[in-house]
């Protein structure tokens, strides 16, 4: 393997993952406390709007993805979406735990919803909402968070989504840092783990490997093909990540350190690619970024 790039022509865009805050109405046992809690204050809406103003000056079309925490718990989230559209951001995605009503999701001018189904909570209610939105022809993707203690429910949920032709990816739970296969996979019954690894994402493949193979980023992770240490990556050129405190990084991996803080008006966008320093690329948002093994880099 010498090259990975997005299947879609997004290289001329900037994909921005924006963590609006740590506040979440869930408290999943596998979610690190550094990225979620039930008490952090919501970021001031005027500060968020001024950050939108800064983003539209970057000189490239923006693909904006709101995440958290749980972004939809922000009391001015609807206002923020409307403001982003007003300022010319044409593509907006929202990653959500699906606990809002279907009618609420339907009325927002959002181009894509990424639902995460968490089986420690009322997952049936969330799947019901997803199914309703599916009948409304919404652009939906679903991440099935395959908790090892809830595999019977995981099978039921995927069966329901298959029946409605709603695209999804099955994701193993990452409980630990480091070698996830060594530590996390040991929690699963061997038959459950084999089933998870055998299930390809029903979402359209979004990555091209070596200019020929099309595959989804979640499957790249699942098959342990996500090792790019020493490769040149366009994180920071094709993507940015805004942390809950306004700190800006090249991507969710945070390789290369902080680029400054958008809430303080101090960040600058990089002009060059960066060499990956991580053993594994573990975020499905980062894997489709253009990357080359350094001994085969071409322009």
Digit-coded pLDDT (tens) for 56-102 = 999 899 999 999 999 999 999 999 999 999 999 989 999 999 999 99
Per-residue pLDDT band for 178 (boundaries 50, 70, 90) equals: low
pLDDT for 222 equals 83
Give 22-56 pLDDT, tens digit per residue. 999 999 998 888 888 988 999 999 999 999 999 99
For the cut 80, the answer to whether the pLDDT of residue 170 exceeds it is yes
Angle between helices 123-135 and 151-163 (to 10 degrees): 10
Q: Is the peptide bond before 123 cis (omega within 30 degrees of 0)?
A: no
Q: Could you write out the DSSP letters of every residue in 206-259?
A: -EEETTTEEE-HHHHHHTT----TT-EE-BTTTEEEE-TTSBEESSTT-TT---
Q: What is residue 296's predicted lDDT score, i.e. its pLDDT?
A: 59
Distance CA 190, CA 170 (A): 16
pLDDT band at 181 (very low <50, low <70, confident <90, very high): low
Q: How far apart are CA 264 and CA 93, in angstroms?
A: 25
pLDDT digit string, tens, across residues 207-235: 999 999 999 998 998 888 999 999 999 99
Pairing of strands 239-242, 91-96: unpaired
Domains of the chain in start order, with CATH, are 10-204+235-263 (3.20.20.70)
Of 122, 102, 121, 118, nearest to 110 (Cα)? 102
Model confidence band, residue 177 (pLDDT cutoffs 50, 70, 90): low
Q: Quick one: pLDDT at residue 32?
A: 83
Share of the chain above pLDDT 70, in %: 96
CA–CA distance, 252 with 119 (Å, rounded to integer)? 24
Euclidean distance between CA atoms 269 and 107, whole angstroms: 33
Q: What is the DSSP letter of 287?
A: T
> From CA 231, how far away is CA 229, in angstroms rounded?
6
- pLDDT exceeds cutoff 70 at 183: no
Question: How many whole angstroms from its chain centre is CA 210?
Answer: 23
Q: Residue 298's pLDDT is what? A: 46
139-148, 190-199, 257-266, 289-298: the lowest-pLDDT one: 289-298
Per the prediction, the chain carries an average pLDDT of: 92
Name the CA dihedral angle for 26, 91, 235, 68, rounded to a multiple of 10 degrees.
Answer: -10
Show Cβ contacts of residue 24 under 8 Å, excluding neighbours closer than 6 positions.
31, 36, 37, 38, 68, 69, 70, 73, 97
């Amino acid at each position: 393997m010498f090259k990975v790039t997005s299947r879609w022509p997004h290289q001329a865009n900037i994909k921005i993952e924006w963590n609006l805050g740590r506040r979440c109405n869930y408290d999943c046992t596998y979610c690190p406390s550094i990225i979620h809690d039930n008490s952090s204050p919501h970021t001031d809406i005027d500060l968020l709007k001024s950050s939108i103003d800064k983003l539209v000056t970057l000189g490239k079309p923006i693909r904006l993805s709101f995440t958290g925490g749980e972004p939809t718990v922000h009391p001015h989230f609807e206002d923020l979406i409307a403001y982003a559209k007003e300022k010319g951001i044409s593509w907006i995605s929202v990653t959500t735990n699906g606990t809002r009503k279907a009618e609420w999701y339907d009325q927002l001018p959002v181009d894509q919803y990424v639902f995460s189904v968490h089986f420690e909570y009322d997952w049936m209610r969330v799947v019901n909402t997803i199914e309703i939105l599916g009948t409304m022809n919404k652009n939906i993707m679903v991440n099935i968070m395959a908790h090892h203690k809830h595999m019977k429910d995981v099978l039921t949920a995927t069966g329901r989504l298959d029946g409605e032709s709603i695209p999804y990816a099955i994701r193993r739970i990452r409980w630990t840092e480091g070698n996830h296969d060594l530590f996390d996979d040991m929690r699963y019954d061997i038959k459950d783990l084999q089933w998870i690894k055998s299930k390809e994402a029903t979402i359209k493949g979004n990555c091209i490997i070596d200019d020929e193979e099309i595959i989804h980023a979640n499957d790249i992770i699942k098959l342990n093909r996500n090792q790019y240490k020493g490769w040149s990556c366009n994180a920071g050129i094709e993507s940015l990540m805004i942390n809950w405190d306004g700190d800006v990084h090249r991507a969710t991996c945070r390789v290369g350190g902080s680029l400054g803080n958008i809430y303080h008006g101090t960040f600058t966008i990089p002009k060059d690619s960066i060499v990956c320093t991580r053993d594994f690329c573990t975020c499905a948002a980062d894997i489709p970024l253009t990357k080359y093994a350094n001994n085969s880099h071409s322009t």
